[in-house]
Amino acid sequence: MIIPYTREAEQALEQVRNVSALQWSILPLVAVLLYVYAREIQEKNYNTLFTCLAFAGCGLLLEMLNGLIMHWTGRTALWVAAGESSYLIFVGINIEIILCFSIIWAAAARVLPEERGMKILGLPNRAVFAGTFGFFSMCTEALLNRAGLLVWQWWWFKWPYALPQILVFYTLAWYGLIRFQDSEISFRDRCRIVGAIYAVLITAFVVFAVVLKWV
């Protein structure tokens, strides 16, 4: 028996990389990204810039995996981006989301205490901030889900079961970003790490999107 795609999954598939859906609203978002990156370069905050790029690249890899889940199950992805968008990159992410992923760390890095060993309520400040960022990320996704913009359809990844999973995932992701930001990795090694992420991303896109057309 062939299980059909869900309605939201079909709608997303129809809009994936549909250039005719492009809207003017994308331009100010790109301008904000360029301004943020220009400021980080001007202030020589290269750690922050590389962390932003790593966050965006890993986010796109995760979204490609999400699209592959839709292809492999023939039903739906873990999450589907619904509603209007300037450009839907994969079924679970649009251009607005990825531009946000590309700059959000630049804001987060500015609120991290410079003293890495400082305690907050007796806890390491990095762990506290990772948990705080994770909590607000979960709240954002929950709000998008309640608004019908981010659809969860697998029974074990639906409201409210998805919330603790999202909280754990984002807390770990934010902690990883903090560690990457704080690490004593050289400029050259950061270039190599980020370059490797995007090399894998481009290769996977060519294989799964261009050749196989699975995502």
What is the per-residue pLDDT across 59-118, written as a single tens digit (0 to 9) for each?
999 999 999 999 999 999 999 998 889 999 999 999 999 999 999 999 999 999 989 989
In-domain check, residue 90:
yes
Identify the bridge partners of residue 126 per DSSP, sorted by sequence position. none
Residue 104 lies in a domain: yes
Beta-carbon contacts of residue 175 (< 8 Å; ≥ 6 apart): 126, 127, 130
Domain count, the chain: 1
42 inside domain: yes
Low-confidence ranges of the chain (pLDDT < 70): 1-3
Tell whether 2 is covered by a domain: no
Q: For residue 139, is it within any domain?
A: yes
CA distance 192 to 198: 10
Question: What local confidence, expressed as pLDDT, does residue 130 receive?
Answer: 97
What contacts 95, CB < 8 A, 6 or more positions away?
26, 29, 85, 86, 87, 88, 89
Domain enclosing residue 57, as ranges: 7-211
What pLDDT does residue 21 have?
84
Distance between CA 190 and CA 154 in Å, rounded?
37
pTM: 0.94
CA distance readout (Å), 30 to 35, 57, 96, 97? 9, 16, 9, 12
Is residue 1 in a domain? Answer: no
